[in-house]
Structure 1
Amino acid sequence: MTRLATLNGRILPIWGVWNACRVPGAEAVRIVAWSGDSAAFPGAAATSSRLDDLLIEAVFSAGAHFGSLYVLAAGGHLLQMQATIGLPATIARTWATVRVHDSTPVAVSVREQRLIWFSDRVALARAFPAMALSLPYHFAMAASPVCAGGTVWGGIVMGWPPGGEPQLSQRQLDIIDDICDKMGRLLHRASEGGRPVVPSSPPRILDPVPAQRPSPDKAEAHFAAGQPY
């Protein structure tokens, strides 16, 4: 059962309605029910495919090691991983669902509507010790909200191998801003057009080069070593 909301007579997916982003003066949000998933909405599959393309573009253009897209779901209280590239399936499953009020980079980024950056695991451990303990790998990480139309629709997380620059370059920041903007507009248009994107379960593991995909054990070894696969 997918929960939807109406706002000023328009149907919106409830996971796209975040209090801090509601339009001033808007009518109260009314929750209704909708049975089905993205496949039930014509055009939703095409939107999901375009979101996958944008995630791949972000990772490769910014020189990242991995990237994940989260979409708000279940009444706006959960972030569900829609797709990921560069993460072993076991790690993707572990972090497939994050509560919006959890102490994790993507949740804080969505709540505070700002980009968060950690140059290494030490910096991550200072701010999010529990997460750092569960991810005993060395990498830099950025999390950024996906917004459009006065609404936060989700967030992206990207990671880089250790030993890089202490800050993201202006080019990398521009890439993240541009991709998040495009993703947000896609999700916004899909919602307004009555074909909302329902988060995948489990998340899609994107593989742009299937012939070179390693075994799960090798994938985790590459990830731990900061090597792309």
Structure 2
Amino acid sequence: MRQPGDPADVATGRGAELPEAVLADAVRDTGASVGLVYVLPPGERVLHLVLASGVPRHIAAPWARIPVDAGIPVADAMRQRRLVWLGSQEEIARRYPRLGIVLPYDFMLAAAPITDAATAWGGIVLLWPVWHPPQLSPAEREAISASCHRAAAFLRQAADSGLPPRLPDEPRLLAAPPHHADAEPAQATAALSFTERLPVGCCALDMDGRLTFINSAGAEMVGADAASLLGHRPWEVLRWLHDPAFEDRYRAAVVTRQPTSFTARRPPDTGLVFQLYPSDTGISVQILPAAEEPAATQPRATVPSMAGPVGAAGLYHLTHVATALAEAAGVKDVVELAADQIVPAFGPKALALMTVEEGRLQIAGYRGYSAELVARFDGAPLTSDTPAVRAVATAESSFFPSFADLERAYPPAVHQDKMAAWAFLPLIVSGRPVGSLVLGYEQSRPFPPAER
């Protein structure tokens, strides 16, 4: 069997895409619960996440691109050409406060550089639950080192063959091997019958948080039929669960692989306890009636409005962007950080940042748009009737779920960028608009109030 880095892979053109075995072997040989592989493209200053294991895309999104000079473990490991080990949440918070703010959970982390004698190619990040010993074992260190060496050899051969690394728009996710792939139909039927006999609710979530199973008791307890829940995240369907605290418990279970729980109140006054038990393949959830509390301390049921609060993922994305921008030293840093953090975290396909200079909107930076298209809008006078200029003039944001919406507001508009939805946001410093930010989306988007 060929190993990653085999010259045949490079010769046939497959060498530009890092093999999944680089990460799969590191996760298997170290017992890590989460794994990430970053690649630094030639001539760039931003690490790109290309492989991920044990974590869904929406949790990994804020870390999809990391500037090489950022105060982040994988960036430090690559720059300093050494392994970084963080053995506790306290150590993470002390040494990497930005990471501790965005992922305030108990886990252990190792970051190792992918390097050879001449080049720093990227890095590997691995996470473990807190029951891992306080230090890496020699065998684990050797496994991490071997994976890094194999990745470096592969990328070196690809580069020497004139093939730069292939960078996917989104990281490739490695599927966890099923624990019971060989289960007999009779066993599956018996398991289903077992859950139906239980007097309490139980359900299953995949790693992305989507419901894959719920028994009859569980559906009855949450007040919904199974068909309306399957394939959806519960807090996105059940309005009384649409609270960042509940989604945060799911995120904690995924990141830490530790059991956790929360209590919710189904209107009008039914208290329920949700107990989460995570593994590499998903999360098992037990639903129980909550013990009655004294009336004076019982929280009243509140049903969120249709606008809804910002979800936990959104709050952590905002925190991540804010902490990243706080480290920016100038306009160039702001442009790069905005593109590297907002694009993967919030989903736009394209981004343009414009600043006011001498009565015109000048393009300060962009991502996802062609240089030819950007040049058409560079230097637009502030007297122009465009949504980007309006954002500066009024200090108000505008959102267009489709081109028809944009055309209704601006009849002269011409569809030039092949996008399907847009957001135009003012950039405000000390209460004064100084520019605008344009986000373009490939598909129409409703822009609910919480997202706006």
Structure-2-length-normalised TM-score: 0.39
Aligned position for 1:136: 104
Is residue 2:76 matched to residue 1:108? Answer: yes
Write the distance in 2 (CA, Å) between the matches of 1:44 and 1:141. 34
> Which residue, 113, 117, 123 being the options, matches 2:85?
117
Aligned position for 1:155: 123
Write the distance in 1 (CA, Å) between the matches of 2:94 and 2:137. 23
Is residue 2:196 matched to residue 1:228? Answer: no
* Structure 1 gap segments, 5+ residues each: 1-40
* Structure 2 gap segments, 5+ residues each: 1-9, 182-204, 211-249, 258-278, 282-452
The answer to whether the 8 A contact 1:62-1:172 is kept is: yes
Cα deviation, residue 79, structure 1: 0.3
Which structure's relative contact order is higher, taking Cα pairs within 8 Å and 6+ residues apart?
A: 1
Closer, same or farther: CA 136–147 of 1 in aligned 2, 3 Å = same
> Which residue, 206, 217, 220 being the options, matches 2:209?
217
Cα deviations by residue, 1:187-216 (Å, 9 ceiling, x for unpaired): 000110112213222111111437988151
Cα deviations by residue, 1:25-77 (Å, 9 ceiling, x for unpaired): xxxxxxxxxxxxxxxx9744355252x11200100110101111000037331
Write the distance in 2 (CA, Å) between the matches of 1:46 and 1:74. 15
Deviates more, 1:213-222 or 1:61-70: 213-222
Deviates more, 1:194-203 or 1:61-70: 194-203
Write the distance in 1 (CA, Å) between the matches of 2:24 and 2:207. 21
RMSD of equivalent CA atoms: 2.3
Write the distance in 1 (CA, Å) between the matches of 2:255 and 2:119. 35
Cα deviation, residue 149, structure 1: 4.4
Closer, same or farther: CA 104–87 of 1 in aligned 2, 3 Å = same
In structure 1, the residue corresponding to 2:209 is in which secondary structure?
A: helix
Cα deviation, residue 150, structure 1: 1.5
Is residue 2:51 matched to residue 1:83? Answer: yes
Q: Larger C-alpha radius of gyration, 1 or 2?
A: 2
Runs of 4+ in 1 over 4 A off after TM superposition: 210-213
Closer, same or farther: CA 42–94 of 1 in aligned 2, 3 Å = farther
The answer to whether the 8 A contact 2:15-2:154 is kept is: no
Cα deviation, residue 112, structure 1: 0.6
Aligned position for 2:95: 127
The answer to whether the 8 A contact 1:141-1:159 is kept is: yes
Cα deviations by residue, 1:148-196 (Å, 9 ceiling, x for unpaired): 2411100000010112211100000000111100110000001101122
Is residue 2:13 matched to residue 1:48? Answer: no
> Which residue, 15, 24, 30 being the options, matches 1:62?
30
How many residues are treated as equivalent by the alignment?
A: 188
Closer, same or farther: CA 149–190 of 1 in aligned 2, 3 Å = farther
The answer to whether the 8 A contact 2:40-2:47 is kept is: yes
